[in-house]
């Protein structure tokens, strides 16, 4: 989704508007499938209609993706996998707008609560949602890669943070725009997405544990700590 280079990093209201628009877009996309599959004989009628999509967010797009699950227009279960590229998850890169700081505070708490076993509200539960944060490292001069760490937001069972320098068959840093088109990164990312697909399920992806196994094989070298994130405990900043 191209928002014509909107300055979402500087304007909190833009983040909220983008999140609302994207939720509407996902709703529209998912509603296209039943009629299309009905009229197109190439589709296997025994397979379920897709009920969710995979989100890839670059920079503040990754923050918008997390906001999407917190607003009223979000359809529970319509997103089960999010991969972010050079996204400042911990804090906004330029906190000039008070609304951005509030958005960050609100989504942090929402996501921490969403992984709690005590949450019974389906609209607030994130038990089936995986989040992978990929950072470019020292070459990224726009977003500090340390701020891409999701260790305090997402439990290790549901996601992790990795630098492109540590990804097998990539082994190199990436600047802010190049992380979108670097061939080595794109190849690994595309293969991992293909490997998590399961069209026999409404969510169109494998169960959470199987997804995480695919992502760990694709993005981690095996030399990381068991938590595969950082020393920051989940739920603490």
User: CA 159 to CA 149: how far, in whole Å?
Assistant: 11
Active site residues: 59
Q: Is the pLDDT of residue 171 over 50?
A: yes
Q: 42 lies in a domain?
A: no
User: CA 48 to CA 44: how far, in whole Å?
Assistant: 9
User: CA 36 to CA 42: how far, in whole Å?
Assistant: 10
Q: How confident is the model at residue 226 (pLDDT cuts 50, 70, 90)?
A: very low
Q: What residues have CB less than 8 Å from 14, skipping those under 6 apart?
A: 3, 6, 7, 8
**Can you give the residue range of the structural domain that contains 120?**
12-37+48-219
- The closest alpha carbon to 163, from 228, 92, 112, belongs to 228
Residue with tokens 């890839």: 56
Strand 159-163 to 130-135 pairing: parallel
Give the model's pLDDT for residue 187: 97
Number of domains in the chain: 1
Q: Is the pLDDT of residue 74 over 60?
A: yes
Q: 19 lies in a domain?
A: yes
Q: Which residue has the higher pLDDT, 121 or 190?
A: 190
Q: Is the pLDDT of residue 15 over 60?
A: yes
Q: 93 lies in a domain?
A: yes
Q: 232 lies in a domain?
A: no
Give the model's pLDDT for residue 75: 94
Q: Is the pLDDT of residue 227 over 50?
A: no
Q: 225 lies in a domain?
A: no
- State the pTM of this model: 0.90
CATH number (domain holding residue 18): 3.40.50.1820
User: CA 29 to CA 51: how far, in whole Å?
Assistant: 10
Q: 4 lies in a domain?
A: no
Of 40-44, 76-80, 131-135, 143-147, minimum mean pLDDT range: 40-44
Q: 235 lies in a domain?
A: no
Q: Which residue has the higher pLDDT, 4 or 180?
A: 180
Q: 135 lies in a domain?
A: yes
């Amino acid at each position: 989704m191209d928002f014509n280079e909107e300055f979402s990093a500087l304007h909190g209201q833009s983040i909220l508007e983008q999140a609302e628009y994207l939720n509407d877009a996902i709703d529209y996309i998912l509603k296209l499938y039943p009629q299309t599959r009905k009229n197109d004989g190439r589709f296997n009628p025994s397979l379920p209609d897709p009920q969710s999509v995979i989100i890839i967010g670059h920079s503040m797009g990754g923050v918008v993706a997390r906001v999407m699950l917190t607003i009223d227009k979000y359809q529970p279960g319509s997103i089960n996998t999010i991969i972010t590229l050079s996204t400042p998850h911990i804090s906004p890169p330029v906190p000039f707008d008070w609304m951005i700081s509030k958005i960050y505070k609100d989504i942090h708490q929402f996501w921490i609560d969403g992984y709690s076993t005590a949450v019974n509200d389906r609209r607030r539960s994130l038990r089936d949602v995986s989040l992978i944060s990929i950072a470019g490292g020292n070459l990224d001069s726009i977003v500090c890669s340390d701020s891409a760490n999701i260790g305090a937001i997402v439990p290790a069972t549901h996601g992790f943070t990795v630098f492109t320098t540590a990804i097998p068959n990539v082994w190199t840093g990436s600047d802010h725009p190049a992380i979108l088109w670097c061939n080595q990164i794109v190849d690994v990312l595309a293969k991992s997405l293909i490997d998590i697909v399961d069209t026999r399920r409404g969510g169109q992806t494998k169960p959470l544990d199987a997804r995480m196994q695919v992502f760990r094989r694709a993005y981690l070298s095996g030399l990381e700590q068991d938590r595969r994130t950082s020393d920051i405990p989940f739920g603490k900043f």
